[in-house]
Every structure is written in C-alpha cells, then in structure tokens.
Chain A
Amino acid sequence: MPHRSTLSPDTAKLRKIIPAGDYWIDTVAKNRRLRIVDVEGNQSADTLFFAASDPADRYSAVDTIRAQGNIYLSTGSKLLTTSGNVLAQIVADTVGRHDTLGGACAAESNTVRYALDKRTMHSCRDSYVLAVTANERFGLSKRDLTHNINFFMNVPVTADGGLRFADGLSGPGQYVELKAAMDIIVLISNCPQLNNPCNAYNPTPLEILVWDSDVP
C-alpha cells in the first residue's frame, strides 16, 4: 500500500543522481534510510542487496515473496536473504507495487526478447558486471549477480499463469524508501533499456538519498 515518508530531503546525508545506464554501489549501515526516487517517472531501478558481513548471504526474490505470500513488493515488505535474514524493510512507498520477478535486462536476453542484432546494446547486467569488477573491495563477482528487484516496474501476473509488462504505476517524483536491518551492500543499475515501451523508450535519471539513523 502507498505510504509517504516523514523524512525531508534537506536532512539527508547523501543525495546523488544516477543517470540512466549508470550504476551505484555502496554500503548502507544498519538503521539508515535509503530512498530511491523515480525523478521523471516510469524508470526502473534494478536493485540487489547483500549482507555486508557475508555477501554470499544476499537478496533472494523467491524467499522474499514466499515468506510474505505475495509476489509484489510494497510498504512493509521485508527483503530477505537466501538464509532468511532481513536485509531491509520497505518503510515508505508512493507507488504501491514493485516487481521482483522480471529480473534485469542483459545483452544476451535482449537478443531473445527483441532481435538478434540487439546484442551489443547496453544493459543492466553489463552495469552490474562493471560495478562488481571495477569495485573489487566489495568482494563481489558475476557469481553474485542474481534475481533482483525492479523498483517502479509493474509486471502483473494473471491467475492463469500469464505475465506481462504493463505501463508503470509510477510517475515523476514517486519514491520507495527502505530501512536497513543490517549493514548492507546496495547495487543499483539505472536501467538503460531502449527496447521496452514501459519507459517510453526514454530512460531517465534516478536519485538516491540516505539519512542517518537518528534523523527524525
């Protein structure tokens, strides 16, 4: 369900724009708040989380949706690791529904989804691979790149087992906010997809904000 945050951007300790086709990777300490803003609307924030103390224990889409008994993420959703530990909880969400089934785009899956000659187009998976190989201090590699969250994406599933990519429920300035339940590594790819009508073939910036745990 939609739920607004009480935090003001003025008190954030970090504000950063992630241009489309770029990535952000960093640690967020326990109890800090992370907000992801869909600045211009209908953008996809392809996001992975890892336990900072043991990155092999990482976000698990299947454990998260099974534990909450629902395939969509929104306010109250606890993001679980493969071991069942809580990485973070969604504490505010102005959209109401986020996808964690569709995964990230990749050059290779683009050839299947759209056309074989799309193989050299930029993708979230390329951003992920660059993020983990260019930032070795996090101890991550392609092995760690799995089934992510697509914040702001709307992927409805039908009762008879169909799945489609629908027009986004999001819009300019909509956001989702998380509270870290442990020290976590956050990896966001701002989706560069040029083949999907969901973003009107126009990928746009995201903004992230981080607040200290003691900010009211």
Chain B
Amino acid sequence: MNFSFEGGKHWSWVLGAGTLLRLTDLDGGANVGMLFYNPANLLERYNAPDTLKCQHTFKLTRGHCLYSDMGRIFCSITEDSVGWHDTVCGTTNREQVAQRWGEKSYQTHRNDWTQNGFDAFLVEGGKYGLGKRDLAANVNWFSKAAAAEDGTLQFDPTSARAGGYVELRFEMDALVLLHTCPHPLNSAREYPRHPVHAQLSKSDPVSADDFCRNSRPENGRGFANTEHYRQCAQHPAGEC
C-alpha cells in the first residue's frame, strides 16, 4: 500500500506487528516527525532516552531499535541509506515557524499554510484520545543534527538527499503519528516543504541471526521482552 505526503502535512496509522514501513525522501531535504504508542496501552510510548542509552548512540540508523518506556521494541531499522536520523531536537511549534518563515494562515494560503510539528502531533494524537501530556521526544527521519565536543548542536542540510530511504519493521503493534513539517533546526530561507513517499508491506519473520536483533546484546534482550509480550497478548490469560 502506497501513500504520498506533501511537506507540512500529518497522518497516523495503527500498524500491526510484522508491518514494514518504508519512507522515501523524494526530492531531498525531507523531514518526517514521528511518535509511537502501544494501541493496547497508550501510556506506553516511544522513549528516546531509553533508545539512545540502550544502544549507546546519539543518532539512529540501520540496526537500531526504537524502544518504548516498557523495555520493548516498537520497530527496528532494517534498511537505511541516510546514515543519521535525529531524535533529540524535538519539533517546531507555531511561534517558531512564524518567527523563522512567517505565518501563512489557512485563510490566506489554503493547503500551502505553514503547519508546525507540535500542532500536527496534537491533531493526530487527539484522534486517539492523546493530548499534550502524552507527547514525547520524537524521531526526525532524514534529519541530521550532530553535536561537537563542547555539545554545540549543528544541523546538516546536506544529509537528506533525493531518493534517500529508511525502512522500519514493526516488532509489536503500534500507533504511529507522523508529520512532514520542517526540522526545528532547519535554517532554510523558505518554509521547507518536501514530499515523502510511504510504502506499507508485510515483513518476513524475524530470524535468529537478524541484523537488528544481534546488532547489540541489549537488542537481543529487547527482542526477548517484545516477543514475550506478543505471545502473552495473543493468548488467553493464564496460558503464558
């Protein structure tokens, strides 16, 4: 199943375990903000700090797993042509967008209004009963922000190239909130409005020698937690 998103838009899905989601940066310069929740317990959400510290990484790329706050893996990154995706810079809000690019309202600009990531997440999350209190540090697919030795953050506008792709394999059911609003450190003169293609398909079963499962010993334990949860969730109480 294929989806196309213009820049500055938002959407959401509930994706079952075993789904592959492949995102492609069609023109270069794209950003996809993303958050994950357990549809069976919306209090369980993507946890960027756990994701980083469990894998001793500051960036996300192939082999990394995206952890919930319950020690389970929402999805693993099975393919990645980009090499660096950000999860520490958050998302834009209305004031930031207005300050940097000027505010284009819906009244005057219709579909070319300057949507912001925070409102986009509120709209998509609100469809499932989520609010401001449920938001968390999000992923920014295709966006690279490195830190110098003294901690200075630097956005790299050359990292997101046309045709770049990343593929996520869902290891448990997940509510996925996404937007294609600009990265908050993007300093482009015009509001960056770059299209993204999304393809949903079914994955093969995860093998014992799977790259993500074995990329770090921590991920082997994360997979064990996740598989245990799936087994228990699929059986009547007491069989697990």
| A71 & B147 in contact (Cβ 8 Å cutoff) | yes
Interface residues of B in 11-66 (CB under 8 A from A): 43, 47-50, 52-54, 56-59
Bound complex: CA of A110 vs CA of B218, how far in Å? 10
| A165 & B53 in contact (Cβ 8 Å cutoff) | yes
Is B163 part of the binding interface, using a Cβ–Cβ cutoff of 8 Å? no
| B84 & A161 in contact (Cβ 8 Å cutoff) | yes
Q: A56-B131, A111-B225 are in contact. Are A62 and B53 (CB under 8 A)?
A: no
| A69 & B153 in contact (Cβ 8 Å cutoff) | yes
- Helix, strand, loop or mixed for chain A's interface? loop
Interface residues of A in 130-160 (CB under 8 A from B): 142-144, 146-147, 155, 157-160
Q: How many residues of A contact B (CB 8 A)?
A: 48
Residues of B within 8 A of A146 (CB): 136-137
Is B123 part of the binding interface, using a Cβ–Cβ cutoff of 8 Å? no
Is B195 part of the binding interface, using a Cβ–Cβ cutoff of 8 Å? no
Q: A70-B151, A82-B132 are in contact. Are A103 and B59 (CB under 8 A)?
A: no
B118, B136, B146: which contacts A147 (Cβ < 8 A)?
B136
Q: How many residues of B contact A (CB 8 A)?
A: 50
A57, A63, A66, A72: which contacts B151 (Cβ < 8 A)?
A72
Residues of A within 8 A of B136 (CB): 146-147
Is A106 part of the binding interface, using a Cβ–Cβ cutoff of 8 Å? yes
Interface residues of B in 133-155 (CB under 8 A from A): 133-138, 146-153
Instruction: Fill in one digit per residue for B181-198: 1 if any A CB lies within 8 Å of its CB, else 0.
Output: 000110000000000000
Residues of B within 8 A of A56 (CB): 131-133
Residues of B within 8 A of A163 (CB): 52-53, 56-58
| B221 & A106 in contact (Cβ 8 Å cutoff) | no
Is A125 part of the binding interface, using a Cβ–Cβ cutoff of 8 Å? yes
Residues of B within 8 A of A161 (CB): 57-59, 84, 146
| A157 & B53 in contact (Cβ 8 Å cutoff) | no
Instruction: Name A residues whose Cβ lies closer than 8 Å to a Cβ of B.
Output: 55-58, 60-63, 65-66, 69-72, 82-84, 97, 101-104, 106-113, 115-116, 125, 142-144, 146-147, 155, 157-165
7 CB contacts below 8 A, A to B, read A72-B151, A103-B48, A108-B70, A109-B67, A111-B221, A144-B133, A161-B59
